[in-house]
Structure 1
Amino acid sequence: MEQALQSEIYKIQKPEHWAGNINDAQLIEYIKESEFSQKQADEGRDYCYFLDKIYYTSDHENSEYACLAYTLNEPANLERASVVDVVLEENETYVIHRISVLRDGVLVDKIPDTKIKILDSENQSGGGVLSSNKKVNITIKDLRLYDILIMEDSRIKVFTDRDFLRKGFSKYIWIGPDSYWAYGKYKFTFKNDRERTIAYKKTFFRDENGNVLEPEVNHLKKGEEYVINEENYINFVDSNREVSPFIDFATDANWKELSNYIAPIYDAIFEKSSLKEFAPDLIEKIDGINDKDEQLQFAIEYVQNHINYIYNADEMNGYKPQEPSVTYENKQGDCKAKSVLLKVILDSIGIDSSIVLVNFNTDFYMKYYLPSLLTFNHVIVKINYKGESYFVDATLRDEFGLIENRGFIFFMHYLEVKPNLELQIKPPHRFSYYAVDEKSELIVANNIGKLNLTTIYKGNRANNMRKYFKKTNKREIIDSWNNFFFHTLNYNNDRNGTDLRNIFKDAVIEIVSDDKKLNEFKIEYKTTIENPYYTDGKNNRFLMYFDGNIVKNSARDFMHKDITFWHNFDNERFEIQLLTDQKIDVTEKFTIQESTINNPYFDYTSRKKITKNGGTIIIDFKPLINLEIPEKDFEDFRAAHHEVADSNFGIGVDIIEEGILNKLKFNFKKHFN
């Protein structure tokens, strides 16, 4: 066997006692053809003869074992099997027990044909993110089509002193196996060797009619195990419409117990942290700011922009927060360290705040999970100021504004690091400002259109647009706006294939202003358009301005049986004016059509002012956000968005051409269309 490196990162040895031992004769016995396996072969699918997985947890380690045998009948699977990457956490060991193939009925040991390399895992290695993960790269030579590959391995994570949460608590999520494969035998075992009882909760399991069953909670004491054993098994989960069944295993506890466990750990840090002692220069800068609002803004932006964010993903839950004096001196820290430093600064200026545990990636599932501190993967700060609560992510950069104007973080569940608290729900929210406030004018004279657009972005939109203009080439930005107007003015239907730069020849876009306190970013776009009318197949001319971004297709197209729709839209206001030197049809339905929608989850109005030469529409959209739309309300919610899409997201005007024949044609069309 070729070895690039031999170390504790990987080993080649027999399985641990808790995993058992399978000999060669048993392996061959397990690999038997059947009507079920033949059916998979007839359908051209690869087949897994057996998969045996074990998760073992004790007060000293978390380990996973797997033994499986599967066909290599498809070239793509053969290619994937030949090179395998295993990413390991810090202090985790990958143990190879067996790599073999069954070829023409003969078991062949492939370990001598295996090359192993140890690499630094490059995942998430940029942008201030540091990773101590290692990647074990396994290359198996001379695998052949129609081999049956047998892999038996383990991952063993032995706890160190700083893995205090993992020593005290266990959490593991079982999810059904890959739906591509058919399994002759599928077995999963969870073994509890901890002193404390582990609860497990079965969620999104279904009856024979596909209906979701009520969650089921049971417990495992030390030495007990939970087993799933299936034969001739295919996981038929429709991943596009259904949540896969899962089992949450977690050390038995409630949220109050967990908050009482974690709160003293943070309190001990705060009790010995004095900003005056380790950052007198920072105190001096803050004292030089007379306005409390501006002091708060300074504190947030100092930690966000001047303290480098370093992030070791797998150890986020593994150790105590870094002391703020160390974070300040080194000018770096993870989310815990940055959040703790921010709270210490806020304490020094008399602003109430607290540390908050969140997991944005699994926020939807939090209501289904068992209570566990290991559910969370991120730390932010909750700030209570002038009767309002705000949430600030200290790891972000280039976020601006006084507290009420800063970016809004969308999530629902969080645990505040204080004693005797339950898991909390962030309430629904209505913005006090428009994230987009836009005014557009298209004025046409002598078949030349002057198009002007002014947009004020605020909150998240201001932060994102500011970054976009900073990082993007100016020509690329103009092309993006040109493409927007190409569709908004309906030119894609009468001059498709035309170079946009030949339509919007003199297009320019500029930053008009950037207010870092109001967090308002204002831009202006201007261009001249020759022949600005959309012309249909019958040579009828129209001015049209329908902004597809106003239509929320994510709401209209949403289809899922289990997941509810997450409502996270912004307040928006649009004023669109079309003016021409031609007469228009002032009775056309879609020219004069207005709308008023008062759905429980958003208010939407469109109001128009029509003259003989054009029209103006004002669109106002105000949603109630940061909530899930209940299933019972969703179809009405969807229907309301369909109403917006029914020509209520812009304005179009029909041109009445000069001349008697054209007017007769127009009157005829009105009477008989």
Structure 2
Amino acid sequence: MENTVEQENYKIQKPENWAPKIDDNQLIESIKESDFSNKQVEEGRDFCYLLDKVYYTSDNENSEYACVAYTLNEPSNLESASVKDVVVEENETYIIHRISVLREGVLIDKIADTKIKVLDSENQSEGGILSSNKKVNITIKDLRLYDVLITEDSRVKVFTDRDFMRKEFLKYVYVTPSTYWAYGNYKFTFINDRKDPIAYKKAFFRDDEGNVLEPEIKHLKKGERFVIEKQDYINFFDTNREIAPFIDFATDSSWVDLANYIAPLYEEIYSKASLKEFAPKLVEKLDAITDKDEQLQFAIDYVQNHVYYIFNADEMNGHKPQEPSVTYENKQGDCKAKSVLLKVVLDYINVDSSVVLVNFNTDHYITHYLPSLLTFNHVILKINYKGETYFIDATSRDEFGLIENRGFIYFLHYLEVKQNQGLQIREPHKFSYYGINEKVDFSAQNSIGKLKLVTTYKGNRANYMRKYFKNTNKREIVDSWNNFLFYTLNYSNDRNGTDIRTIFKDAVIEIVSDDKKLNEFTIQYNAEIENPYFTDQQQNRFLMYFDRNMVKNGARDFMHTDIPFWHNFDNEKYEVNLLTDQKIDTQEKYTIQESTINNPYFDYTSRKKVTKNGASIYIDYKPLVNLEIPQKDFEEFRNAHHTVADSNFGIGIDIIEQGLLNMLKYSFKKRLK
């Protein structure tokens, strides 16, 4: 076997005492064809003869063991089995116990045909993400189609002083296996060798009818095991609409106990030094700002933009923040360090704030998990100001505005780093401003259309659009708007395949204004269009403007049964004015149709104004956001969005063509209505 670098990140040795002892005869005996295995292979499914997984935890280490024997009947599986990467953390070792194949009934040791390299797993350092993880690259020569590959390995993570949180608390989520594989023998074992009890909670397991069972919470004392063992097993659940059943293991604790454990760690850091002592120049700038709103904005902007964000993966789980004086001096820190520095700055200007723990990626699952500090992976700041509560991410960049105008962070659950705090749930939110406020003027005179859009973005939308215009080529931006309007004006149905640049002649888009306090970003788009009318197959002409962004297809198409719909839309306001020099049908159904929707989760109105040569629509959309729509309310919520989609998201006008025959056709059409 070829070893190209030192072996400190991996070893080749026998399993630990807590792991199973499986000899060659036992392996060969387990790899037997059966009616069940033959059926899976006939159906084109790969087959796993044996999967024995063990998770072992003690006060000194967390370790995982797996012995697996599976078919290489598919070229894709053969390819992935031949080359594998295993990422190991600092002080974690990947241990190989066995690599073999069963080929035509003969067990062949493949250790000699295995090449191992250890590489740095460091590919994002330029983005401020630091990690001492290593990547163990394993290449196995001469694997053949229809081999049965057998691998037996472990990962052992020995705790250091920096892992004090992992020493004190366990967090492990066991997820039931993929629905792709069929298993002859499947076994999972969790071993608690810690001094403290481990709680475990089963979630999203189902009965024979597919109904989710009530979660179970049980406990394991030191030396006790939890075991799942199945024969001829396929994990059935609907991957598109259901959550895979899982079991959450965590050191038995409550949210209040956890808050009381972590709060002193932060309180000690807050008291290390005063801002006046370690940041006199910053204090001088703060003191020079007399307006409180502007002083708060300056404080947030300073920490977000003048202190570089570094995510240190090895230290993040430690939850022990860097001292604010160090963060200020070095002008860099992770989310904990930046949040603590911002809190110390806000303490100086007498603005109430506190550090909170969040996990945006698994926010929905937090109430399904057991209480654990290791559930959280990010730290932000909660600010109470003028009777309102705001959440600020100190690691964000290119955020602007007074605090009420800054971007809104969507999440539901958080743990405040204070004594005697439980898990908190944010209240639903209503925006006081419009994320999009747009006016559209589209006039057609002498077969030439002139189109003008003036759009003001605010909050998250302003921050995003500001970055977009800064980082994107102007031609690309114009093409993006042209493409959007190609569908909005319905040209996709009468001139599809036409070069869009030839339709929107002399299209230009410019920044009109950028107010950094109000966080409002206004742009204007102008274009001229020859033949501005959409023409159907009967040669009827229409001016149309239907902005499909107003139709929330994510809500209309949502079908998940276990995850509620997450409501996170902006307030939107539109005025669309269509004008022509032709006579129009002022009584056409969709031209005059209006709507009023008062759903518990959003209000939507569309109002029309029609003249002999044009029409206008005024749309106002105000959702209640940052909440999950309860299942009992969802169908009514979905149907309300269907109403929006039923021609209430824009306006069209029908042209009455000149000539006696056309007038007769129009009169006949009116009598039929």
Normalization by structure 1: what TM-score? 0.99
Letter of the aligned partner of 2:475 in structure 1? R
Match of 1:294 in 2: 294
Report the alpha carbon displacement of residue 313 of structure 1 after superposing the two structures with TM: 3.3
Distance in 1 separating the partners of 2:665 and 2:179: 61
Question: Map of 1:31-42 to 2, 5 A cutoff?
Answer: 31-42=31-42
Q: Tell me what 1:93 maps to.
A: 93
**Shift in CA distance, 410/523, structure 1 to aligned 2, threshold 3 Å:** same
Q: CA-to-partner distance for each residue in 1:394-451, whole Å, 9 max, x for gaps?
A: 1110000000000000000000000001100011000000000000000111010110
Aligned counterpart, 1:665: 665
Q: How does 1:361-380 map to 2 (within 5 A)?
A: 361-380=361-380
Residue in 1 that maps onto 2:516: 516
- CA positional deviation for 1:273: 2.7
Deviation at 1:123, TM superposition (A): 5.3
Q: Distance in 2 between matches of 1:310 and 1:121?
A: 16
Q: CA deviation at 1:315?
A: 3.7
Q: Distance in 1 between matches of 2:90 and 2:584?
A: 71
State the match for 1:232 in structure 2: 232
Query: For 2:483, what is the secondary structure of its paired residue?
Result: helix
Q: Secondary structure at the match of 1:166?
A: helix
What whole-Å deviation, never above 9, does each CA across 1:69-119 have from its counterpart, x for those lacking one?
Answer: 001011110000000011111221111111111111111111111111111
Q: Is the 8 A contact 2:162 2:315 kept in 1?
A: no
For 2:61, the equivalent position in structure 1 comes to 61
1:9-158 matched pairs, under 5 angstroms: 9-122=9-122, 124-158=124-158
Q: Is the 8 A contact 1:164 1:319 kept in 2?
A: no
Question: In the TM superposition, what are the counterparts of 1:382-393 in structure 2 within 5 Å?
Answer: 382-393=382-393
| Match in the other structure for 1:283 | 283
Q: Which residue of structure 1 lines up, in the alignment, with residue 475 of structure 2?
A: 475
Query: Aligned to 2:482, what secondary structure does the other structure show?
Result: helix
The structural deviation recorded for 1:7 is 2.5
Q: Give the corresponding residue for 1:489.
A: 489
- 1:39 corresponds to which letter in structure 2? K
Distance in 2 between residues matched to 1:554 and 1:123, nearest whole Å: 34
**1:265 match:** 265
For 2:528, the aligned partner's letter is T
CA–CA separation in structure 2 for the residues paired with 1:420 and 1:345: 25
Letter in 2 for 1:358: V
**Contact 1:380 1:391 survives alignment (8 Å):** yes
State the match for 1:498 in structure 2: 498
**Are 1:429 and 2:429 matched, yes or no?**
yes
Match of 1:444 in 2: 444
Q: CA deviation at 1:367?
A: 1.1
Alignment of 1:347-366 (within 5 A): 347-366=347-366
Report the CA distance between 1:272 and its aligned residue: 1.2
Deviation at 1:20, TM superposition (A): 2.8
Q: CA deviation at 1:124?
A: 4.5
The aligned counterpart of 2:405 is 405
Deviation per residue, 1:300-356 (Å, 9 max, x gap): 111111111111335411251111111111111110011011101111111110000
**Deviates further, 615-624 or 26-35:** 26-35
- Aligned partner letter, 2:340: V
| Residue matched to 1:461 | 461
Once the 2 structures are TM-superposed, how far is the Cα of residue 120 of structure 1 from its aligned partner? Answer: 1.6
Secondary structure of the 1:79 match is helix
User: What amino acid does structure 2 have at the position aligned with 1:669?
Assistant: K
How many residues were matched structurally?
673
Aligned residues: percent identity? 75
Cα distance between partner residues in 2 of 1:196 and 1:123:
38
CA contact (8 A) 1:98 1:153 kept: yes
* Range moving further from structure 2, 268-277 or 411-420: 268-277
Alpha-carbon contact 1:124-1:131 (below 8 Å) kept: no
Contact 1:273 1:344 in 2 (8 A): no
Helix, strand or coil at the partner of 1:162: helix
Secondary structure of the 2:129 match is coil
- Paired residues of 2:598 and 2:604 also in contact (CA < 8 A): yes
Q: Show the 5 A alignment for 1:157-236.
A: 157-236=157-236
Gaps of 5+ in 1: none
Task: State the secondary structure of the residue aligned to 1:583.
Answer: coil
| Distance (whole Å) between structure 2 residues aligned to residue 483 and residue 438 of structure 1 | 18
| 2:653 corresponds to 1:653 | yes
Q: What residue in structure 2 maps to residue 327 of structure 1? A: 327
| Equivalent AA in structure 2 for residue 128 of structure 1 | G
Displacement, 1:174?
Answer: 0.6
1:613-641 per-position Cα deviation (integer Å, ceiling 9, x unaligned): 00010000000000010111000000000
CA distance in 2, matches of 1:463, 1:131: 29
Distance in 1 (CA, whole Å) between partners of 2:323 and 2:382 is: 19
- AA of the residue aligned to 2:242: E
Q: CA deviation at 1:125?
A: 4.2
> Hey, what does 1:526 align to over in structure 2?
526
Inter-partner Cα distance in structure 1 for 2:183 and 2:312: 36
Q: Is the 8 A contact 1:120 1:135 kept in 2?
A: yes
The answer on whether the counterparts of 1:483 and 1:500 sit within 8 Å (CA) in structure 2 is yes
- Normalising by structure 2, report the TM-score: 0.99
Tell me the amino acid that sits aligned with residue 225 of structure 2: E
Alpha-carbon RMSD across the aligned residues, in angstroms, is 0.9
